[in-house]
Every structure is written in C-alpha cells, then in structure tokens.
Structure 1
C-alpha cells in the first residue's frame, strides 16, 4: 500500500509540473505572437507619448495652459449647446409672454418675429442643424413628413449655400441669440411714440443729483404737515 501511495504522489507532482510548464509556455507563446508584439509596441508608444506630453507641459507651461483652456472651453460649449426641443420651449415661452399683453402695447418687431416662427413651427418647416459647438435653426420649404415629389427630390432641394438666407436663429452657450434680441423691450410699442416731439421720443438716465433730489422729496412727503402761527390764528 505504501508503494502505491508513493507512485500516486509521483504522478500528481509530475502532472502539476507539466501543467505549470504548459501554462508558462502558452503565455510565452502569446507574448511572442504577432498580436502580443503589436500590443506591446502599442503600449510602449502610448507610454512614450504620455511621457513626452508631461515633459512638454512642464517645459512650456504657458502653451499648455492655452491649449487646456481652449479644450476646456470647447467641451463646455459642446455640453451647453441647445437643441431643437429647447428652442421650441423658448419660442412657446415668448409667445405666452406676448399673449399676456394687449395688442396695443406689444412691440411690433417682437410680435412679428414670434408669429412667423410659430407659423413655421405649425407647418413643420422649422429644422435644426448641429454644427459642433452651436446649433442653427433654419426654415425648410416643406415638412419632412410630406410625400410630395418636390420635397423628396434631391435635385430640387435647397443647397447648403442658401443656409445663411434661411437661418432663423443661432443656439450657443445655452441661449438663442436672435430670439432674445428680438424679444428685447417686447412690451414697448414704439408706434405709440412716433407722433411725439423729437425731444420726448428719447429718454436718458437721470443724473446722480437728480436721483438724490427725488429721494429727498419722497422722504419729505412722509413727514407730517406743520402749520405756522399766523395760519393757526387765521383759522
């Protein structure tokens, strides 16, 4: 029985040694294969590129700061770029603001611009194009869902060089610049003041002495009235 145990232990040790040698040989074969050599060379190139980048940043900090600022700014602009849904939300908000005002006090420029955009939106002719760091809203000739031949024929489609004439708004840094500029003073109807004299059509900010004078008069209006003796006797 002891001899059988000794032979079994010998066979187990030989099998374990063969397994270890087989695994090492397979790993060595994998390292020396074409894929292994390619991966090692790729990692070496990346390691060398990272080392050169760190050394270059240490030697030229100003240039590195400029590049980092440009890359960070481009990333922020890309993340804050609005899309079509945000434009429609802003357009509906502007339309609601104008609807709360009487037609007599609405700004004609703001009202006309918003009404034209709403008409294009209802017709399905508002399109959005992403240009990397910004978005452009432009008008199309037809609704994309229409089945007319003129809408699907590539030879009849509008060329890209006409995009500046069709552009309606620019989305950048989370804002729609043309829509915001058109909505400036949307509650001031300039037509009401065109018949006034020239000196009354334009207003200027009051100076500091005028503001102080108005404040003093306003505070004096809170004080109780005082009557002099002559006025008291007359009464």
Structure 2
C-alpha cells in the first residue's frame, strides 16, 4: 500500500472520500479554443461534435474524507487518453459512445481549494493544480450556488438549478493532471446518490480574474449543455502514474 507523508501525517492510497456533495455544469465550447487552453498538458480534448469539446465546471463540498473537510472548485475538460485515436466525428451520441469505449477522461485544468492540508496533498500525491482561493458554497437552498474569489478578485458566481431525479451509478474513470512539467493519470471512482440532472440549468457571472477571462474566451457565459447535482457521493483516488 502506497503512503505519502503530508504535513506530518501518513496518507495511504487509495485516498477515500466518504461523503461529498457535488454540483456541475457542462458546456460545449470550441475545440480549438479548448486545445489552446490545455496545450501545456500534451493531451487532446475529446470532440463530442465536430469542432466542439466539453468544459465542465464543478463545485464540491467534501464533508468527510481522508484529506479532511474542505471546499473545492474545478475547471475541467473531457479529454481522450494519450493512446486513443482521433476524436470521433459522427455526431453527439455516437461520439459519446466511442468516448466511453475508448476511456475518455477528465483533465483538471484549475482546482482551487480553501484548506492547506488538501492543497499540499493534492499537489504532492497526484500533481493536481490546487491553489488557495475563497470558495463560498451555498447548498442549503433549492438552488445551489458557488462564488469563487482569488487574490481579492471575483472569478465567477455560478448558480445551478437542480433537475429531475436520475439513476446514479458507480463510475470508474481516469483523471489527468499536470504540474511542474509532468502530466499524470489518476484512477478515480465515485458512487453517487441523490442525482438530479437537466439540460441547461446553470447561470454564470464572470468576474475580472484571469481565469474568468480564459472562460470568456471559451464562450462563457452561455447556456449549459447539462447541469447536475449529487446530494451524496463517495470517491476513491488511486496512485498517480506519470505519462
């Protein structure tokens, strides 16, 4: 069993999250713009339609886990694994089917958190691009809201309207990270419960932070392709492997 010493504490792999609440909004964006954003990683975005990629924004309340309790926000992109062929171009449903078969994963481009222990653990163990930020989560009301501020500047204000109940299934997929010139693959599993989803369903306001400018260059704010809320999920993160 792999172990990592973080701030004087042993962290064993796999790292487990026992309870978290997750809210996401996914957007169709120009593939060429998305490729430019993640070019530093050496990975390629997955095209679910010709010339279109998926950028997903997520905010998460980690209530109970091996890295303690914290809040997190993520800017991610659907990517094809390095060993996969060219992106499918036969329409959305066929493309998504091929992507699942080929093992498409999630590249984590920006990952602010609000606690120091998870920041050091995430960067050290997996190479996740974690950095400190102010993350204000408002999850008690029917509408779920996240406000992210970094360096005293507003990054974004994201509101998600829960949709209709859908079946939550255990999923195993790969997450990808890049830090200090190294791209890594991380096995990741989650078992969601209390899932609600809908087309659209997200309102976003961008601030004046450089990350907000980057999102605006991707075409945001715009109508979300789909939004989802997960009231309760467990997760497991395996050992990272350098590509």
Q: Verify same fold: TM over 0.5.
A: no
Higher strand share: 2
Higher helix share: 1
TM-score, normalised by the number of residues in structure 2:
0.20
Give the number of the structure with larger relative contact order, counting CA–CA contacts within 8 Å between residues 6 or more apart: 2
